[in-house]
Amino acid sequence: EVRLVESGGGLVQPGGSLRLSCAVSGFTFRSYAMSWVRQAPGKGLQWVSSISGSGDRTYFADSVKGRCTISRDNSKNTLYLQMNSLSAEDSAIYYCAKGFGETYSPYFYYMDVWGKGSTVTVSS
């Protein structure tokens, strides 16, 4: 069974940092691109970032570019999202999602398995 389990969310002050993790099992992790998608309270889905299966290519939404780093440890079957300079607008449920193939091509890319999400709240 394919499983994605996010962790690392919580309450953080404005301007602070947080690292989310996503532990996966049930598939060959290194063979698939991975993504982070967030959902603010009562709002829709927003793509945040993606990374290729090998980890050598990363992609970011304009809203987080320069503030976030996506990475993966294929030996630990774990995906990460490091978020810095957080503001209230970053408060959301952050979902880890598995891509359908090894590469991320935005023209065709979709996410076929999702984790349950980790909640990030930015507030003083």
Partner 1 sequence: QSMLTQPPSVSGAPGQRVTISCTGSNSNIGAGYDVHWYQQLPGTAPKLLIYASNSRPSGVPDRFSGSRSGTSASLAITGLQAEDEAHYYCQSYGGGLSVVFGGGTELTVL
State the residues that interact with partner 1 by CB under 8 A: 37, 44-47, 50, 59, 61-62, 95, 97, 100, 106-117
Closer residue to partner 1 (CB): 7 or 16: 7
Closer residue to partner 1 (CB): 16 or 58: 58
Contact predicate 97/2, CB 8 Å: no
Closest distance of CB 14 from partner 1, Å: 26
Strands 45-51 and 58-60: antiparallel
Q: Kindly list the distances between the CA atom of residue 70 and the CA atoms of 53, 58, 75, 88, in Å, as whole numbers in the listed order.
A: 12, 7, 16, 20
Closer residue to partner 1 (CB): 19 or 116: 116
